[in-house]
Amino acid sequence: MTAPVDDPATDERLLSAFLSGDTQAFEVLVLRYRSPLYNLLLRSVRDPQTASDLLQEVFLRVIKRADKFHGSAKFSTWIFTIARNLTIDHARRMQHRRHRSLDVPLGAKEGDAPSANGTLVDRVVGTDVVGERAVDSQEIQRRVAAAVELLPTEQREVFLMRQLQGLAFQDIADVVGVPVNTVKSRMRYALERLQAALADFEDHLEGTR
Protein backbone atom coordinates (compact mmCIF):
# COMPACT_ATOMS: atom_id res chain seq x y z
CA MET A 1 0.00 0.00 0.00
CA THR A 2 1.28 3.43 -0.86
CA ALA A 3 1.78 5.49 2.23
CA PRO A 4 0.69 9.05 1.96
CA VAL A 5 3.33 11.72 2.00
CA ASP A 6 4.24 12.49 5.57
CA ASP A 7 2.69 15.87 5.99
CA PRO A 8 0.57 16.86 8.95
CA ALA A 9 -1.61 19.21 6.93
CA THR A 10 -4.94 17.78 5.96
CA ASP A 11 -5.93 17.63 2.33
CA GLU A 12 -8.66 20.15 2.93
CA ARG A 13 -6.29 22.64 4.52
CA LEU A 14 -3.85 22.21 1.67
CA LEU A 15 -6.58 22.90 -0.84
CA SER A 16 -7.59 25.95 1.10
CA ALA A 17 -3.99 27.16 1.13
CA PHE A 18 -3.81 26.63 -2.60
CA LEU A 19 -6.89 28.77 -3.08
CA SER A 20 -5.07 31.47 -1.16
CA GLY A 21 -2.26 31.32 -3.68
CA ASP A 22 0.04 28.72 -2.11
CA THR A 23 1.00 26.49 -5.02
CA GLN A 24 3.38 24.48 -2.84
CA ALA A 25 0.35 23.31 -0.87
CA PHE A 26 -1.12 22.03 -4.08
CA GLU A 27 2.12 20.28 -4.91
CA VAL A 28 1.85 18.36 -1.64
CA LEU A 29 -1.61 17.24 -2.70
CA VAL A 30 -0.26 16.18 -6.08
CA LEU A 31 2.53 14.20 -4.44
CA ARG A 32 0.06 12.54 -2.11
CA TYR A 33 -2.34 11.43 -4.77
CA ARG A 34 -0.45 11.15 -8.04
CA SER A 35 0.79 7.62 -7.48
CA PRO A 36 -2.38 5.99 -6.14
CA LEU A 37 -4.50 7.75 -8.75
CA TYR A 38 -2.14 6.84 -11.57
CA ASN A 39 -2.13 3.20 -10.52
CA LEU A 40 -5.90 3.17 -10.16
CA LEU A 41 -6.22 4.60 -13.66
CA LEU A 42 -3.52 2.34 -15.08
CA ARG A 43 -5.14 -0.84 -13.78
CA SER A 44 -8.48 0.38 -15.05
CA VAL A 45 -7.57 1.50 -18.56
CA ARG A 46 -4.51 -0.77 -18.97
CA ASP A 47 -2.64 1.81 -20.99
CA PRO A 48 0.11 3.98 -19.48
CA GLN A 49 -0.39 6.89 -21.86
CA THR A 50 -4.13 6.98 -21.29
CA ALA A 51 -3.61 6.68 -17.55
CA SER A 52 -1.16 9.57 -17.69
CA ASP A 53 -3.61 11.70 -19.65
CA LEU A 54 -6.43 10.91 -17.27
CA LEU A 55 -4.25 11.63 -14.27
CA GLN A 56 -3.64 15.11 -15.53
CA GLU A 57 -7.30 15.56 -16.28
CA VAL A 58 -8.14 14.61 -12.69
CA PHE A 59 -5.91 17.33 -11.30
CA LEU A 60 -7.04 19.79 -13.93
CA ARG A 61 -10.59 19.34 -12.73
CA VAL A 62 -9.51 19.79 -9.15
CA ILE A 63 -7.76 23.02 -10.10
CA LYS A 64 -10.76 24.31 -12.00
CA ARG A 65 -13.28 23.46 -9.31
CA ALA A 66 -11.23 23.95 -6.19
CA ASP A 67 -12.97 27.16 -5.21
CA LYS A 68 -16.30 25.30 -5.15
CA PHE A 69 -15.07 22.70 -2.69
CA HIS A 70 -16.76 23.48 0.60
CA GLY A 71 -15.33 20.66 2.65
CA SER A 72 -18.59 18.95 3.52
CA ALA A 73 -16.94 15.78 2.29
CA LYS A 74 -13.38 14.60 2.20
CA PHE A 75 -11.00 15.76 -0.49
CA SER A 76 -9.92 12.15 -0.97
CA THR A 77 -13.41 10.97 -1.83
CA TRP A 78 -13.86 13.92 -4.16
CA ILE A 79 -10.68 13.33 -6.12
CA PHE A 80 -11.28 9.58 -6.35
CA THR A 81 -14.81 10.25 -7.56
CA ILE A 82 -13.37 12.43 -10.31
CA ALA A 83 -10.91 9.70 -11.27
CA ARG A 84 -13.58 7.05 -11.25
CA ASN A 85 -15.91 9.12 -13.42
CA LEU A 86 -13.10 9.67 -15.90
CA THR A 87 -12.53 5.93 -16.19
CA ILE A 88 -16.24 5.42 -16.78
CA ASP A 89 -16.26 8.12 -19.45
CA HIS A 90 -13.19 6.54 -21.02
CA ALA A 91 -14.82 3.11 -21.04
CA ARG A 92 -17.87 4.57 -22.73
CA ARG A 93 -15.78 6.18 -25.40
CA MET A 94 -13.99 2.90 -25.95
CA GLN A 95 -17.27 1.12 -26.49
CA HIS A 96 -17.49 2.82 -29.81
CA ARG A 97 -14.14 1.49 -30.83
CA ARG A 98 -12.88 -1.97 -31.30
CA HIS A 99 -11.98 -3.52 -28.00
CA ARG A 100 -8.71 -5.22 -27.32
CA SER A 101 -9.63 -8.75 -26.58
CA LEU A 102 -8.16 -10.35 -23.53
CA ASP A 103 -7.28 -13.24 -25.77
CA VAL A 104 -5.16 -11.13 -28.10
CA PRO A 105 -1.44 -11.39 -27.40
CA LEU A 106 -0.10 -8.45 -25.51
CA GLY A 107 1.64 -5.96 -27.70
CA ALA A 108 -0.06 -7.33 -30.79
CA LYS A 109 -3.05 -6.24 -32.80
CA GLU A 110 -6.15 -8.32 -33.10
CA GLY A 111 -5.86 -10.56 -36.09
CA ASP A 112 -2.10 -10.87 -35.76
CA ALA A 113 -0.55 -14.29 -35.71
CA PRO A 114 -0.01 -15.77 -32.26
CA SER A 115 3.16 -14.63 -30.61
CA ALA A 116 5.18 -15.55 -27.61
CA ASN A 117 4.01 -12.50 -25.71
CA GLY A 118 1.04 -14.24 -24.21
CA THR A 119 -2.30 -12.70 -23.39
CA LEU A 120 -3.57 -11.06 -20.26
CA VAL A 121 -5.32 -14.28 -19.45
CA ASP A 122 -2.07 -16.17 -19.97
CA ARG A 123 -0.32 -13.79 -17.63
CA VAL A 124 -2.74 -14.72 -14.89
CA VAL A 125 -2.99 -18.40 -15.58
CA GLY A 126 0.69 -18.76 -16.22
CA THR A 127 2.24 -21.21 -18.59
CA ASP A 128 4.80 -22.77 -16.32
CA VAL A 129 4.23 -25.04 -13.45
CA VAL A 130 5.54 -23.45 -10.32
CA GLY A 131 8.46 -25.43 -9.11
CA GLU A 132 9.74 -26.30 -12.55
CA ARG A 133 11.59 -23.02 -12.64
CA ALA A 134 12.54 -20.32 -10.30
CA VAL A 135 9.71 -17.98 -9.50
CA ASP A 136 10.98 -14.50 -9.02
CA SER A 137 9.15 -11.69 -7.37
CA GLN A 138 8.71 -9.87 -10.65
CA GLU A 139 6.83 -12.83 -12.03
CA ILE A 140 4.52 -12.79 -9.04
CA GLN A 141 3.99 -9.07 -9.42
CA ARG A 142 3.20 -9.46 -13.11
CA ARG A 143 0.63 -12.11 -12.42
CA VAL A 144 -0.91 -10.25 -9.53
CA ALA A 145 -1.23 -7.14 -11.70
CA ALA A 146 -2.81 -9.19 -14.48
CA ALA A 147 -5.20 -10.85 -12.04
CA VAL A 148 -6.22 -7.47 -10.68
CA GLU A 149 -6.89 -6.21 -14.19
CA LEU A 150 -9.14 -9.20 -14.77
CA LEU A 151 -11.23 -8.58 -11.69
CA PRO A 152 -14.81 -7.52 -12.38
CA THR A 153 -14.83 -3.75 -12.59
CA GLU A 154 -16.91 -3.27 -9.46
CA GLN A 155 -14.52 -5.37 -7.42
CA ARG A 156 -11.41 -3.94 -9.00
CA GLU A 157 -12.22 -0.32 -8.25
CA VAL A 158 -12.98 -1.12 -4.62
CA PHE A 159 -9.87 -3.25 -4.33
CA LEU A 160 -7.64 -0.57 -5.82
CA MET A 161 -8.99 2.29 -3.75
CA ARG A 162 -8.45 0.25 -0.64
CA GLN A 163 -5.11 -1.16 -1.65
CA LEU A 164 -3.52 1.88 -3.24
CA GLN A 165 -4.78 4.64 -1.00
CA GLY A 166 -6.06 2.77 2.02
CA LEU A 167 -9.42 4.49 1.78
CA ALA A 168 -11.85 3.48 4.49
CA PHE A 169 -14.69 1.27 3.33
CA GLN A 170 -17.16 4.05 4.10
CA ASP A 171 -15.16 6.49 1.96
CA ILE A 172 -15.10 4.00 -0.89
CA ALA A 173 -18.85 3.59 -0.48
CA ASP A 174 -19.20 7.36 -0.85
CA VAL A 175 -17.11 7.31 -4.02
CA VAL A 176 -18.86 4.36 -5.60
CA GLY A 177 -22.33 5.24 -4.33
CA VAL A 178 -23.26 1.89 -2.83
CA PRO A 179 -23.84 0.77 0.77
CA VAL A 180 -20.71 0.17 2.80
CA ASN A 181 -21.58 -3.51 3.22
CA THR A 182 -21.60 -3.88 -0.54
CA VAL A 183 -18.12 -2.38 -0.65
CA LYS A 184 -16.90 -4.84 1.97
CA SER A 185 -18.41 -7.73 0.04
CA ARG A 186 -16.77 -6.60 -3.18
CA MET A 187 -13.43 -6.35 -1.46
CA ARG A 188 -13.84 -9.81 0.00
CA TYR A 189 -14.79 -11.30 -3.36
CA ALA A 190 -11.84 -9.57 -4.99
CA LEU A 191 -9.44 -11.07 -2.47
CA GLU A 192 -10.94 -14.53 -2.83
CA ARG A 193 -10.74 -14.25 -6.59
CA LEU A 194 -7.15 -13.10 -6.40
CA GLN A 195 -6.29 -15.98 -4.13
CA ALA A 196 -8.00 -18.46 -6.43
CA ALA A 197 -6.31 -17.06 -9.55
CA LEU A 198 -2.86 -17.33 -8.02
CA ALA A 199 -3.27 -20.38 -5.84
CA ASP A 200 -0.20 -21.94 -7.43
CA PHE A 201 1.96 -19.16 -5.99
CA GLU A 202 0.80 -19.58 -2.44
CA ASP A 203 3.52 -21.98 -1.47
CA HIS A 204 6.08 -19.59 -2.79
CA LEU A 205 4.54 -16.70 -0.92
CA GLU A 206 4.44 -18.76 2.25
CA GLY A 207 8.11 -19.38 1.80
CA THR A 208 8.91 -15.73 1.38
CA ARG A 209 7.07 -14.61 4.50
Q: Which of 5, 16, 140, 200 binds another protein (CB under 8 A)?
A: 140
d(CA 20, CA 22): 6
Return the residues of window 81-110 that contact another protein according to CB under 8 A: 81-82, 84-85, 87-92, 95, 99, 101-103
By the rule CB under 8 A, 193 interacts with another protein: yes
Q: Are 8 and 21 in contact (CB under 8 A)?
A: no
By the rule CB under 8 A, 167 interacts with another protein: no
d(CA 26, CA 207): 43
Whichever of 71 and 131 has its CB closer to another protein, that residue is 71
Angle subtended by helix axes 180-197 and 137-149, to nearest 10: 130
Q: Which of 11, 28, 76, 159 binds another protein (CB under 8 A)?
A: 159
Q: Which of 14, 135, 148, 161 binds another protein (CB under 8 A)?
A: 148
Half-sphere CA count of 195, side-chain side, radius 13 A: 7
Q: Are 156 and 44 in contact (CB under 8 A)?
A: yes
Whichever of 70 and 131 has its CB closer to another protein, that residue is 70
Q: Shortest distance, CB of residue 109 to another protein, whole angstroms? A: 17
